[in-house]
Amino acid sequence: MGGSSLANSSHVAGPGLDGGPLPRPYRAARPAILGAPFFPDHGANKMAHEGDVIGARARFLERRPNNLRHLLEKRFGWMNDYIGPHTKALELGCGAGFLQLFVKSPVTLSDVEQRPWVNRVVDAMKLKELGETYDVVICSHMIHHIARPMQFFEDLKSVVKPGGLVLINEIHTGLVMRLLLRLMRHEGWSYDVDIFDRNTIANDPRDPWSANCAIPQLLFRDLKAFEANAPGFTIERFELNECLVFPLSGGVIAKTRTINLPNPVLKLIDAVDALLIRLAPDVFAMASRVVLRRGP
Ligand SMILES: C[S@@+](CC[C@H](N)C(=O)[O-])C[C@H]1O[C@@H](n2cnc3c(N)ncnc32)[C@H](O)[C@@H]1O
């Protein structure tokens, strides 16, 4: 958890990442406001406990704060529609392992870092070494932390059974999310990466907590482009979600102060979020939900 952000990683290079000239096609992906690359150092993070998954899990299990429980129920509960008692399922990058508290059937929890609740240590950048296939693979807020996203999707094909599914939760850097990230100096972004080039390094490969929060948007802003560049996967579902409910949670792993609210108020906030996201998705949406199906 040192201070090795992408911005100061000497060996990380690529359009817009190493301060080199920016070819036109990459610039096109940049939002007009707060679109330039931003990579705060870990040491500048105004949220507490960045990367402290052990503390995050202990605090949640001890206090079950209502706002965070509500957020996690929304983040993971929808996966129960895809995972049954006989589904062989694997989560990559499980962090604090919250998924298993909200998904009823057993899921193999994996992460690149060993934790007491981690069933198997798996590096998502070395999936070819896994030697096993799954009906369902889950990636929740993990893809924006990996170094080579297209290499990841290429190798993912060898882990998902034909006809199987990939369930994804991701950050969506709408304008309000970019403002929040900027304010809290929590995680950064660069839209200036050629996302569909398998050799693109979009994050610091040495640091599992380095983040490029633009990655999911670059991957999924044009669903047909994703399918053309990730042959073997089709997109079955894509939704934007989470606005006020995310900052109100107080953070899943890194923490800020919040005031816990009763369930009826949280339900009202869900309705406000849905309206805001329908009105202006690229302003208000802070997360996305994606389902990919692996072809035969
Ligand atoms: C933001 S946490 C998400 C945790 C959890 N999935 C959730 O949604 O609450 C990101 C996790 O991805 C893991 N991670 C980062 N790079 C990884 C890699 N190459 N392979 C596997 N896990 C990785 C980190 O160790 C961290 O636990």
Separation between Cα atoms, residue 284 and residue 287, nearest integer Å? 9
Q: How many angstroms does the Cα of residue 89 sit away from the middle of ligand 1?
A: 16
Write out pLDDT tens, residues 23-54: 444 556 889 999 999 998 888 888 888 889 99
Residue range 5-27: average pLDDT?
41
Separation between Cα atoms, residue 143 and residue 168, nearest integer Å? 9
Cα first-last separation, the chain = 41
Residue range 186-199: average pLDDT?
91
Edge-to-edge order in the sheet of strand 160-171:
120-121, 108-111, 89-92, 134-140, 160-171, 287-294, 233-241
Q: pLDDT grade, residue 21 (50/70/90)?
A: very low
User: Which residues in 12-50 are b (16+ Cβ under 10 Å) and which e?
Assistant: bebbbbeeeeeeeebeebbbeeebebbbbebeebeeeeb
Which residue shows structure tokens 């932390």? 145
What's the confidence (pLDDT) of residue 20? 46
Residues 6+ apart with CB under 8 A from 156: 127, 137, 166, 233
- Please work out whether the CB of residue 93 comes within 6 Å of at least one atom of ligand 1: yes
What's the confidence (pLDDT) of residue 9? 37
Number of domains in the chain: 1
Reply yes or no on whether the pLDDT at 176 is more than 50. yes
Q: How many angstroms does the Cα of residue 143 sit away from the middle of ligand 1?
A: 8
Residues facing 92 on adjacent strands: 139
What's the confidence (pLDDT) of residue 8? 34
| Mutational test site, ligand 1, from 108, 111, 286, max ligand atoms within 8 Å of CB | 111
What's the confidence (pLDDT) of residue 51? 84
Q: How many angstroms does the Cα of residue 45 sit away from the middle of ligand 1?
A: 18
Query: What 3-state class would DSSP assign to 146?
Result: coil
Q: How many angstroms does the Cα of residue 203 sit away from the middle of ligand 1?
A: 13
Which of these ranges, 1-15, 91-105, 207-221, has the smallest mean pLDDT? 1-15
Write out pLDDT tens, residues 240-284: 999 999 999 999 988 889 999 999 999 999 999 999 999 999 999
What's the confidence (pLDDT) of residue 60? 96
Nearest CA to ligand 1 atom 13: 93
The DSSP string of 217-246 is HHHHSSHHHHHHHSTTEEEEEEEEE-STHH
Residue range 194-208: average pLDDT?
89
Q: How many angstroms does the Cα of residue 48 sit away from the middle of ligand 1?
A: 18
What's the confidence (pLDDT) of residue 28? 60
CATH number at residue 15: 3.40.50.150
- Please work out whether the CB of residue 71 comes within 6 Å of at least one atom of ligand 1: no
- Residue 159 lies in domain: 3-294
What's the confidence (pLDDT) of residue 4? 32
- Please work out whether the CB of residue 111 comes within 6 Å of at least one atom of ligand 1: yes
What's the confidence (pLDDT) of residue 27? 52
Arithmetic mean of pLDDT over the chain: 89
Separation between Cα atoms, residue 10 and residue 7, nearest integer Å? 8
The answer to whether 144 touches 215, Cβ cutoff 8 Å, is: yes
- Please work out whether the CB of residue 50 comes within 6 Å of at least one atom of ligand 1: no
Query: What 3-state class would DSSP assign to 169?
Result: strand
Write out pLDDT tens, residues 129-138: 999 999 999 9
What's the confidence (pLDDT) of residue 235? 96
Reply yes or no on whether the pLDDT at 110 is more than 70. yes
Nearest CA to ligand 1 atom 8: 140
